[in-house]
Structure 1
């Protein structure tokens, strides 16, 4: 299976000897060679950046072409893409795209508030949209991503996002707490409280707590994770569902499962376990979530976005074409944060999954969406930047399986972190509230993405709304 093309004139013995080297019409990768894996990642990264034109005259810095109808991509996806490039640098050491990523994050943070709430996007802004940019800024702080003196601080950007989402005007008592998908009443989806919005807030709180050692962040994170579980968005078998509607007290749970929701939740739980070493509170959920996620999304060892990537047809939209990469990046973090609990099953899965990824990529780094068909699928109709992002994440994170690869740990302010931050960053609140000041309506959730609002009719999902960032205004 490792050879995806027939190579004329090569003896079977030589083919067997080269069993970890892929064929010429696909991206050539020797999985026993760290340098070869990095070269493959570099090829895919070059392909991915070709979809970005924000550094060209007359274009908007930091975003992919869009939003519709101007182009296929919504604002949030560019935030996720820059996080993918930051991880690419962290794992491979290639700084080719660092300047573009830095320029994009600084510009879209919208100084001086730096809360990623630019007037260009505020009218249609979801908590998840803002959250994805905040998570990329947080990653930049954790990996000491370069930033020139005098420029906005990565940690400050992440704190600004957290503070605006922890503010009173983002929370209410409906469904017992939790963030709404949308920020403003006028936006479609305001009556939906979903996993993605709350997972992003939980994830960001967990990582801020680890970086700063400020218990206010960890209190928020724990409260939010408990809300996601208590409302039923995570069931007893560790399935993670999409959300519910306020008019139904969030009991009409949309049980579609997206890899992006699992990604953001798992990473946050892994961070909390790393910080607390609490086996019951965080270790048990982490192992349960990882085991179920690997079982569900990697049914034969290769990742499938099961809600839309059907055997006979592909229903995934532009947003969803990028989801696989978020799960791989988060699983890699979990393996590094909690190696004794989840590293082995994650490494095993990465080693089977990468074969499908390589099969899907051409020699120039053009990668298909389906990783389980043994070839490039030719899918270019739904925002190919998303599937390139996922392929780049697959190659970058695969380096955690290589013993000779040197991967620096995520830093904190006490272990070499250079971002100093500002606990009062953002438009509001002026200061962080302590948990002792919280009322019921302050129990925040942090969200993970919502791709569709789905209903079940005769056992079949019909997609009624499009997902993170994709909403009809």
Structure 2
């Protein structure tokens, strides 16, 4: 039998291993950041199977029970990969990104494919729309002319979301969480759905110069204030149910809610050429975001991280925050002094804990802990990739518009011929006999096949 190692020997080994692993991702120079981001992008794409024979392009393995990931998170991931390309200049994955985003546009070219109907929320559609908008703003390579174009796809998503059938009188307006009435969560109006619409409206207004988009952004912000989802201290709460006229507010706070409104507000500030109203809103919301979600300047998901009750969805939120805050510094430059030091320290904490797995570089979720927590996945890796690549924002081009070099073709009619799946409509006498049976089957199918997005969404 071999003698057991001494405590001193074990300690020395652990210290050596930690030092070795801690140097896997370096952030000392721009070249270090690019190399670290390149490795993280490779690790993130290792979770993707859609470019393999027999697999479905565009999606991560899922939804449960087929895999961990719902459809929306893949749409968000392609946004992260577009940002990776524009921040680092590495076009290795551009063809994969384009194939994925075009494959999932759906039959109406509005990011509502029929095969995701049973988990199709306004926020899910919105994330794909925001990635298409990013592709237009970043001048990501345009699709072939016979395919839908990035700007037109973003416009189609926006148009479907402002259509009358998406809005009703409950809670004085606002989008419901789910699009089909039979889906669990249709009776919930949540902040992230409003945030995606607000974000898209603000960005489309700036890109196209069309005031209609800005009017909808204003309207959505005012609704959030009116229903008290955003309070006087700029806390952003998750949502509420229509049965109570949205008065049973779930006060859970998630970082991506703050960030999606912050980025939209920054675009409105830019579109309005420095409006003091939007500047004041940005300052209030940004201060709240830093205080709540960046204790000690390190990203922290306050609703779930302390006891690690985060769902797969929540495990991806930190990355969106890093990306969107970094872009804010371009379209609302007065925020840079506050944001950039925080993003730097947070990224340093993020890579410090990427010491897991056989590779010695797998990334966990709890950045403040200083050590690898064993929680791995596409979201956790995407978070760190986004935090690292966002450090290069100072070298990135400012998001373009139609007037400043944007090449993506738009279509103001995109989305006008879309048909929402399973939307509510007036019931006729001929419908009544079968309505109860059909609704029961749909609800049973939905309940049996899916667990829903987050504990904060009810």
| Residues 15-26 of structure 1 aligned to structure 2 (within 5 Å) | 23-26=19-22
Which of 400, 411, 420 is the matching residue for 1:411? 400
**Residue 122 of structure 1, CA deviation:** 2.2
Shift of 1:148: 3.9
Larger radius of gyration: 2
1:390 and 2:386 matched: no
Counterpart for residue 415 of structure 2: 426
Mapping for residues 343-422 of structure 1, pairs under 5 Å: 343-362=336-355, 365-380=361-376, 384-400=377-393, 406-422=395-411
Displacement of 1:81 in angstroms is 0.4
Distance 2:337 2:19 in 1: 28
TM-score of the superposition, structure 1-length normalised? Answer: 0.83
Matching of residues 204-243 of structure 1 within 5 Å = 204-243=200-239
The residue matched to 2:24 in structure 1 has which SS? Answer: coil
After the TM superposition, list the runs of 4 or more consecutive aligned residues in structure 1 that deviate by more than 4 angstroms. 5-8, 468-472
Whether 2:48 is the aligned partner of 1:33: answer: no
Give CA deviations for 1:388-443 in whole Å, capped at 9, x if unaligned. Answer: 1101100010123xxxx52111000110000121000025479xxxxxxxxxxxxx
Distance 2:214 2:89 in 1: 31
CA contact (8 A) 2:26 2:36 kept: no
- Superposed CA deviations along residues 160-214 of structure 1, whole A, max 9, x for unmatched, are 1111111111011111110000112111111111101111001001111110000
SS at match of 1:179: coil
Map 1:128-143; keep pairs closer than 5 Å.
Answer: 128-143=123-138
**Residue of structure 2 equivalent to 1:295:** 291
Check whether the contact 1:43–1:364 (CA below 8 A) recurs between aligned residues.
no
Quote the offset at 1:23 in angstroms. 3.9
Indicate the RMSD between aligned Cα atoms, in angstroms.
Answer: 2.1
Which of 57, 66, 77 is matched with 1:81 structurally?
Answer: 77
Map Cα deviations across residues 289-316 of structure 1 (whole Å, 9 max, x no partner). Answer: 1111011111112111010001xx3100
How far did 1:124 drift?
A: 2.7
Q: Is the Cα–Cα contact under 8 Å of residues 317 and 466 in structure 1 kept in the other structure? A: no
Greater relative CO, 1 or 2 (CA 8 Å, sep 6+)? 1
Structure with a larger share of its residues in helix: 2
1:467 and 2:453 correspond = yes
Normalized against structure 2, the TM-score is what?
0.86
CA distance in structure 1 between the aligned counterparts of 2:298 and 2:39, rounded to whole angstroms:
22
Gaps of 5+ in 2: 1-13, 420-450
Aligned length: 411
Partner of 1:316: 310
- Partner-residue secondary structure (3-state), 1:304: coil
SS at match of 2:183: coil
**2:132 and 2:154 in contact (8 A); partners too:** yes
The answer as to whether partners of 1:143 and 1:410 remain within 8 angstroms in 2 is yes
Which of residues 322, 325, 337 in structure 1 aligns to 2:331?
A: 337
